[in-house]
Structure 1
Amino acid sequence: MTHIVKIETFLVPPRWLFVRIETASGIVGWGEATCEGRSETVRTAVDQLSEILMGQDALRIEDHWQVMTKGSFYRGGPILSSAVSGLDQALWDIAGKHFETPVHQLLGGPVRDRIRAYGWVGGDEPNEVAESIQAQMDVGLTAVKMNASGRMSPLGSVAEIDGVIRRVAAAREVLGDHRDVAVDFHGRFSLANARKVAPLLEPYRPFFIEEPVVPENTHLLQQFTSSTTIPVATGERLYSRQEFLPALQAGIAVAQPDLSHAGGITEVRKIAALAEVYDVQLAPHCPLGPIALAACLQVGFATSNYLIQEQSIGIHYNKGAEVLDYVVDTSPLKFVDGNFERLTGPGLGIEVDEAAVREADKRGHAWRGPVWRHSDGSFAEW
């Protein structure tokens, strides 16, 4: 009685899209198909993919993934991949609940007992960075990530570049030698600008530099990785093994697939295996909700080359709702000495507060990313 009888989506604040799949036996699985700024479009894609899944055995996860990703002549891209991701997570949640075991047990069993977490810190001034980092340290985290800059000129001025260095220096001063700071270039830098800034950051020993070039310029990555000793991370806007391959060949150190964008648990496990061939660590992108976070952790507990986990508890994007608002018991997602302890509940290991989700869906959201412009009026990368 594991055939699928109902599939629903919920657009919930602050900017997330949840997916609910129910089987004939009453087992419910949850997934997160959020695509920031495009979740309404993904909702339509989930509805279309539901035509494939309705009435089918929920436990045939790999076959469903194959059909959902390849069953149409036109494939790939963030919208389809995000829709597949949410449905795939929900199917794994059902499987775990059906077999009464955590998903990581179905993936081969745990390879670790805890996963280190990091938090995002903002602030345009050094003192603001220091205050934000201290707040993260106060909740026990031992690693943070910060944006290198706001809007950045194609070839940064002395003031722009010095601002980047001052903020990272301030972060290192607060963190000391035993905590880590990752620096996110966020695709805002040209290749030339990124190569100019990276050597100036090397004395502060960043954990990694993230997205030094936009994903469509992956062909330029090797020029950057070969120019710095700092580990390079990328991948939040890459959606498949095929898209990760050139980045891996370019010498990145950390792959950052997003489990709500890159085909869910099924594909990210395959990306992790491919990354292992290149001696690359996994650190999934996850500034999203509790379901996406739980899915990441389930992969992490069963994946040997898993470095660290991003999470968005308290992140500045979360206005109108928080990560823990949509779970019945928050304890599985609480930090313990800067880590997430191994999830032991069945499925994804969290219990979604369905009443809260249904109520939030009535409010919905229409989150959009900002549009930035340079001083001359031309488009600037956000």
Structure 2
Amino acid sequence: MTTEPALLVLEDGRTFHGEAYGARGRTVGEAVFCTGMTGYQETLTDPSYHRQVVVMTAPHIGNTGVNTTDMESQRIWVAGYVVRDPAIRPSNWRSQGDLEDALTDAGVVGISGVDTRAITRHLRDRGAMRVGIFSGESAQAAPAELLRTVTQTPRMAGSALAAEVSTEEAYVVSPPEGTPTRFRVAALDLGIKGMTPALMARRGIEVHVLPSRTTVEELLVLEPDGVFFSNGPGDPATAEHEVELLRGVLDRGIPFFGICFGNQLLGRALGLGTYKLAFGHRGINQPVLDRTTGKVEVTSHNHGFAIAWPEGVPTDEQVDTPYGRVRCDHVALNDDVVEGLACVDVPAFSVQYHPEAAAGPHDAEYLFDRFVDLLERHASEPGADAAPSTPGPTQQES
């Protein structure tokens, strides 16, 4: 099999030699690593990975091919792809195509045959950094020129990217046939994954997915029973429009649920800060403590930014905000990062990780039931305690 050389160049000058994988040419972005042993197609099609070059820590990638069912959006979003040992051919009854062909068709430049463990250890030691992948004629340039291309790339901090991945037109995801419609929810698309509205629809929610630039007036026309903010890429500190929209939702007492980017925006709307993690949380094996149940969940993550809890205040203590009290009810057990908020005095809560987790695990899918419970309580008792109730044992799906 004929191979072409390729280069991976990190912004600190470290270089890895490998073979071209996917499209030929050059690409730049933020280097991040994903620890998932499965679900590579869901990772590739997650809009949260926009402008990121993903290093897969699992050594063998592509063995199950690709299919239309596992797409989390309409396209591949990663800026580049780094694998150690790509499958020679797919071997799975669900496969409808080859992974490298899919990358080539999408114009995604990748590299294979590199020591992804060494790259991952480097990023863990030095932090997430900009990177370039060069193959074909692009790989023939002088090393100094390749490094200059990488260092001239915009950093992720300060980047506003949600509008680049959001839907241009609103659309509706209705409950499946035979499931009665119980609620209407306005879902702001900041990089939403397809499984998210699908899981809400299964619970009797008519989901109106809206562009990121939607105004509060346009949202209120729908008369939603609740509002949802999705995951998405970029720096939450740049999302002024979305934060003001969320404050309009909180001002009106409309129940709110946010995940990932939506969690960070709830924090900002409440007056909390955000910061960039050294190398982020990405993968499907991150342990998180749900303080409302005392259970530890194995969760799916993809975030490079996090909520800054007020300095000097333990995360197990409530803090006062312009919207009343808020507590950190989910916390990462690896590094104590805030992984979820619950407002006590307004009907709002959020989590930092991905409870839809189409590729698994499914420990946290009950959070969609918690959202339904919040909608039910708000509909029947508008003045009730706004904090999400503790889910019973029947709420968590297998």
Greater radius of gyration (CA): 2
Instruction: Flag the structure with higher helix content.
Output: 1
Shared topology, TM-score over 0.5? no
| TM-score scaled by length of structure 2 | 0.32
Structure ranking higher in strand proportion? 2
